[in-house]
Amino acid sequence: MLLHIDSSADTTADSVTRQLTETFVRTWHTAHRTADHRHRDLSAEPVEPITPAYTTLGRRVEREGFVPPAKVPALIETAAERYEWDLTHPYIAELLAADTLLLGVPMYNFSIPATLKAWIDRVTFPGALTDPDTGETLLRDTRVVVVMARGGGYGPGTPREHFDFQTPYLKAYFGNLGVPPENLHLVAAELTRVDVLPQLAGLEHLAAVSLTRARAALTALAAA
């Protein structure tokens, strides 16, 4: 199953990440005609931020060791905890069912959108992504494709390279969850605001090359 998540606040017409995730999805459907595809738009349907009831339940689960999602309800003590778990469990189940996770992630203020962070906080419930028998990650075979867009230039050697907290955060997050490096693909389109930011004037060719390379990389990944 392909789990496709967009986090851009822009509409498809204005969002580079939405356009690029659609490129991936079209190619993926051609290559995997019978496979399931599920789409979540975190801007249209935001994930609720976690609350004290979520963290209280999470700590209780941690004290029990590796508890699979099916056994979490037995540890719930309040209506607020029940509400939090009922919100959280569908997102976890959806992620665990996915063979490929496709994320559209624009750079907002040098990092990821708050909508995506809310989803990350929900699905990273203690023990939910871990095999209770072996302690191994349940995401070891999941392929993660992250489509990033940056209004400016943040690649290696650029003046703003060290302003990029998007790439290292996503690498650290998925690496910590146990997604193997060979299964994590981060594809970035840079200088996407070249048409509106005067300070980027003269970089139109570099922007076009970056976008073309991103499309080609995503087409190849989707067809694999």
Angle at the Cα of 132 from the Cα atoms of 131 and 136, rounded to 5 degrees:
35
pLDDT at residue 155 in the model: 86
Instruction: Give 15's pLDDT tier (boundaries 50, 70, 90).
Output: very high
Stated pTM of the model: 0.94
Please give the single-letter amino acid code of residue 195: D
Compute the mean pLDDT over every residue in the chain, rounded to the nearest whole number: 94
Classified by CATH at the fold level, domain 2-223 comes out as: Rossmann fold (3.40.50)
pLDDT, one tens digit per residue, over 86-114 is 999 999 999 999 999 999 999 999 999 99
Q: Tell me how crowded residue 100 is: count the other CB atoms within 10 A of its CB.
A: 22
